[in-house]
């Protein structure tokens, strides 16, 4: 018998506006338009016993309405269920929408529900999610990305980087992949000079180089002592990434675009990454993310989860090998709470669950909503 049952689910589609249109290499190569908003999917799950959990997923540029629609179709499967049985419920949600596959938009929609169930479980235990899962640390190394996009003028990138380090962020990542390779080198050289040799520095090409260009660019960037070069090639070019990882001194990081444990398993099997960058909302939530971390640990791979620091700081704290977490300030307007950063590290919140509460602005930006009752 179950002592509690899921009685109510609220799903909200939220359009989070960005203050400035954002461009990375995909825009400069003509493959995408500048990003003006992030589409968020929130799931709020309540039980008969009075417990509540909050989860979220997201999409950039396209897919938000699709995630919301899929979640609204499969979420009724949770009503009346025991919220403790998270792994079984994840499988139930996947099978409810199996005709559209077990990766991509379908699992990203499920992620919001799965994360809400884990948040609920940790809150009920009176523990942070990291403590519930079993933490290895109370803080995680962090690096900032949001200040170094390609659309940002170089002087502003330099100021942003210096300000982030002054604020306590541990490393800086800037975007590369400009059609003019000289622009990339100038920007990286300028940031390295401004920060000095002791600040960890990373770059991200957002999949915009072909194999020959990637090898050439990676060699050109070797002198800057980078922590990693991220997504130099198409996300599914495992053979190309493996060749770069075996050839270049600078570690190769990738994985953020993959949307299932199976896809990450292939990446690991191909030895295509020196550093794995999984994204819990993209792979389907906490449940599959934990399976993925087990594969990464077995392969002795460092991890640096992509985006969504509000969730990933909790999950990164559970990984045995010292990880990184990505500091992105984009989602901050959605949540009342703020993450603490000091000495190059992000502190894992000790509030129960994820320790997150939606703001009034998040409610105001809601474009669609459905409430499901038992």
Question: What pLDDT score was predicted for residue 28?
Answer: 86
Mark whether 175 is an active-site residue. yes
Q: How far apart are CA 217 and CA 55, in angstroms?
A: 39
Q: How far apart are the first and last CA of the chain?
A: 18
- pLDDT band of residue 2 (cuts 50, 70, 90) is low
Considering only 25-29, 158-162, 303-307, 333-337, which range has the smallest mean pLDDT? 25-29
Q: What ranges do the domains of the chain cover?
A: 6-126+360-373, 130-347
- pLDDT digit string, tens, across residues 111-155: 999 999 999 999 999 999 999 999 999 999 999 998 889 999 999
Tokens of 8: 């109510």
The one catalytic residue among 70, 131, 241, 306: 306
State the Cα torsion 148-343-318-14 to the nearest 10°: -40
Question: What pLDDT score was predicted for residue 61?
Answer: 82
The one catalytic residue among 175, 241, 264, 312: 175
Considering only 31-35, 344-348, 360-364, which range has the smallest mean pLDDT? 31-35
Which CATH number among 3.40.50.460, 3.40.50.1580, 3.40.50.2000, 3.30.390.10 corresponds to the domain 6-126+360-373?
3.30.390.10
Q: How far apart are CA 334 and CA 337, in angstroms?
A: 9
373 marked as binding residue = no
Question: What pLDDT score was predicted for residue 29?
Answer: 87
- Is the Cβ–Cβ distance between 325 and 149 less than 8 Å? no
Q: How far apart are CA 182 and CA 194, in angstroms?
A: 18
Q: Which residue has the tokens 């260009």?
A: 213
282 marked as binding residue = no
Q: How far apart are CA 147 and CA 161, in angstroms?
A: 7
Average pLDDT over residues 23-36: 87
Q: How far apart are CA 201 and CA 184, in angstroms?
A: 14
What's this model's pTM, rounded to 2 decimal places? 0.95
Mark whether 178 is an active-site residue. no
Mean of per-residue pLDDT scores for the chain: 95
243 marked as binding residue = no
Which CATH number among 3.20.20.120, 3.10.180.10, 3.40.50.1950, 3.40.50.1820 corresponds to the domain 130-347?
3.20.20.120
Tokens of 163: 């300000």
- pLDDT band of residue 44 (cuts 50, 70, 90) is very high
Domain 6-126+360-373 and domain 130-347 have a common topology:
no
Average pLDDT over residues 226-244: 97
222 marked as binding residue = no
- pLDDT band of residue 62 (cuts 50, 70, 90) is confident
Residue 1 above 60 pLDDT? no
61 marked as binding residue = yes
Average pLDDT over residues 347-367: 97
Q: How far apart are CA 233 and CA 237, in angstroms?
A: 7
- pLDDT digit string, tens, across residues 198-221: 999 999 999 999 999 999 999 999
- pLDDT digit string, tens, across residues 293-352: 999 999 999 999 999 999 999 999 999 999 999 999 999 999 999 999 999 999 999 999
């Amino acid at each position: 018998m179950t002592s509690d049952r899921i009685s109510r689910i609220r799903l909200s589609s939220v359009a989070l506006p960005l203050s400035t249109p954002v461009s990375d290499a995909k825009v400069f190569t003509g493959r995408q338009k500048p990003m003006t908003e992030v589409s968020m999917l929130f799931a709020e799950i309540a039980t008969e016993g009075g417990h509540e959990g909050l989860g979220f997923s997201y999409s950039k540029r396209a897919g938000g309405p699709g995630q919301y629609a899929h979640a609204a179709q499969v979420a009724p499967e949770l009503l009346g269920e025991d919220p403790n049985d998270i792994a079984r419920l994840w499988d139930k949600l996947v099978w409810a929408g199996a005709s559209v596959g077990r990766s991509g938009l379908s699992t990203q929609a499920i992620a919001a529900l799965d994360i809400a169930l884990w948040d609920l479980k940790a809150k009920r235990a009176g523990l942070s999610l990291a403590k519930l899962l079993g933490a290895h640390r109370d803080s995680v190394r962090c690096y900032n990305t949001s200040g170094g996009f390609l659309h940002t003028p170089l002087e502003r990138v330099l100021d942003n980087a210096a300000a982030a380090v002054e604020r306590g962020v541990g490393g800086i990542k800037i975007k590369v992949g400009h059609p003019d390779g000289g622009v990339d080198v100038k920007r990286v050289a300028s940031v390295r000079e401004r920060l000095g040799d002791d600040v960890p520095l990373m770059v991200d090409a957002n999949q915009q180089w072909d194999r020959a260009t990637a090898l050439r660019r990676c060699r050109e960037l070797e002198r800057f002592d980078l922590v990693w070069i991220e997504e130099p090639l198409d996300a599914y070019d495992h053979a190309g990434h493996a060749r770069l990882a075996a050839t270049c001194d600078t570690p190769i990081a990738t994985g953020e675009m993959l949307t299932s444990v199976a896809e990450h398993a292939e990446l690991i099997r191909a030895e295509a990454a020196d550093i794995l960058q999984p994204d819990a909302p993209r792979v389907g939530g906490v449940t599959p993310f934990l399976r993925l971390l087990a594969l990464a640990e077995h392969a002795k791979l460092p991890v640096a989860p992509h985006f969504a620091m509000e969730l990933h700081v909790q999950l990164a704290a559970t990984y045995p090998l010292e990880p990184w977490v990505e500091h992105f300030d984009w989602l901050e307007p959605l949540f009342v709470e703020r993450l603490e950063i000091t000495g190059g590290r992000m502190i894992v919140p000790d509030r129960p669950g994820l320790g997150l509460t939606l703001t009034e602005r998040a409610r105001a930006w809601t474009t669609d909503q459905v409430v499901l009752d038992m």
